[in-house]
Amino acid sequence: GHPYGSRFPRYNFSEAVDVYRMLLKQLGIEHLAALVGGSYGGMQVMDWITRCPDEMDKACLIATAATLNTEALAFVIVGRASITEDPAWKGGDYYETGDGKGPVVGLASARQLAHITYLSRDLLQAKFARGLQKNFVEAPIAERQRRERTFRTYFQVESYLDHQATKFVNRFDANSYLHITRTMDLFDAGARYGSLEAACARVRAECLVVSYEGDILFSVQQSKDIVAALLKAGKRVTYCHLEAGTGHDSFLTDIDDLSGLVGGFLAPRTPRVMKWQCRLYRNVVKMVAPRAHVIDIGCGDGTLLDVLRKERSVTGDGVEIDIDPFKEAVADGNMLLWEDADEGLSLVSDRHYDLAICSDTLQEVKNPRGLLREVLRIADEAIVAFPNFAAYRIRLTLGFLGRLPVSKALPFQWYDTPNIHCITLKDFKALCAAEGIEVREVKAESRHPFGKFLLALGLANLGASRIVARIGRKR
């Protein structure tokens, strides 16, 4: 037979996905445990989970988007033009002319342009800066004159892009590149259903969405758009932003965090909830209604969520930005959102949860007032737990020793403590009053006999080492 060339039919993402589906049918596979796709493959996963939502249990969408943004479109359009404007392309029928390799110059240029989008600006700068390629600089004079005539440079980054182009043209067909990139250009997960929100409302799989710092091709915001649409539709979704620093190619080159994250998501373990953990959070647990829909902001490794699932059969999510505890929480079967509480919880719509929990988070954020506003935007009520810096033991340590206290409850030195705000019960109540927030219930905790004695006398601000408060907007 002969290559199709210009006769190859135009196809779209859905038709490509249907090829996989027909293969599965022939293999006798009726249902998938999970779909995993990065970049172009992630867009195929997006098509599959929205168009055929009953065919999988879980889905991982990595460094991808529901559609290309304008900048990405522009890069791909220019790359394809490099191929189609190469005289050796011959309208796609180049296989039996010349050496049969076709538009290698155009394909090389397309690859060079695309490769720039795979790497972050920071990585390119750190790796090459304006360094010169030694073998270019020290080349024979005739070679250097040739480079000058053809407006070539001596920069290392040019040598790198030339190398990537040479590797690519030796293993890839120009027509294949044209067809594959055009299907990516034309894909829009929301177009078939009227909007991305409507498309995500069809999803039944639990989803993991991963974005990367410095990704030029698929922006962080595009991943967040998918997550926000899934959350709004009430779907179970975990979102993580990885700061590998490589850019789009990070999901291929920096896989340690990604592999741990995906592994925990696909095969979660059964969490071990210890009795001491239940005792630690007993006052929080008492304030949570059975089967409530909750979010734990600053959830760490998900221990409190594990306790609440065991003790109260709750559903819900956690918020965390430290990748190691994030992975641990996901491995316990929790759904997590990678968000900085100080920058707001933009992924979550108003009153999405029954209850928001901030356990030992309020004193660690830069803007406690803003956090309180956010938690009561996304939930009807909130539980806030924090160390009480007016406790008698702290007062005594400061008064007699002139030192900040170090204890089991506050195990940090002043220079490495995450507690950037010193909150007291009275200060917390004053802030709530100023914000129009109703303090509906307060539990004051102390592990020390004298502290418990002070609590019995009604001196909570003096006796309590820790406060658990349930708050809500004034009715």
For residue 230, the Cα-to-chain-centroid distance in whole angstroms is 14
pLDDT at residue 471 in the model? 98
Among 215, 296, 317, 332, the active-site one is 215
Distance CA(357)–CA(232), nearest Å, equals 20
pLDDT of residue 138: 87
Provide the whole-model pTM: 0.91
Cβ contacts of 333 within 8 Å, gap of 6 or more: 268, 269, 270, 271
* Angle, helix 40-51 to helix 13-27, in steps of 10 degrees: 70
**Alpha-carbon distance 115 to 112, whole Å?**
5
Average pLDDT over residues 49-72: 97
pLDDT tens digits, 219-274: 999 999 999 999 999 999 999 999 987 899 999 998 999 999 999 999 999 999 99
pLDDT at 92 (0 to 100) = 95
Instruction: Give residue 93's pLDDT.
Output: 94
The pLDDT assigned to 354 comes to 97
Which residues have C-beta within 8 Å of that of residue 273, sequence separation ≥ 6?
Answer: 306, 307, 310
Contact present, 382 and 376 (Cβ < 8 Å): yes
Q: Evaluate if residue 135 carries a pLDDT over 80.
A: yes
Distance CA 39, CA 170 (A): 22
pLDDT digits (tens, 9 = 90+) for 388-431: 999 999 999 888 888 888 877 778 888 888 888 899 999 999 99
- Residue 461 predicted with pLDDT over 90: yes
What is the pLDDT confidence band of residue 76, given thresholds at 50, 70 and 90?
very high
Q: Select from 340, 354, 36 the least CA-distant residue to 206.
A: 36
Annotated active-site residue 248? The verdict is yes
Domains and CATH numbers, the chain: 5-67+187-266 (3.40.50.1820), 71-181 (1.10.1740.110), 275-473 (3.40.50.150)
Query: How high is the mean pLDDT of the chain?
Result: 94
Q: Is 215 a catalytic residue?
A: yes
pLDDT at 438 over 90: yes
Instruction: Name the DSSP letter for residue 400.
Output: I
Q: Which of 120, 248, 250, 446 is catalytic?
A: 248
Element (H, E) at 437: strand 437-445
- The pLDDT score that the predictor gives to residue 153 is 86
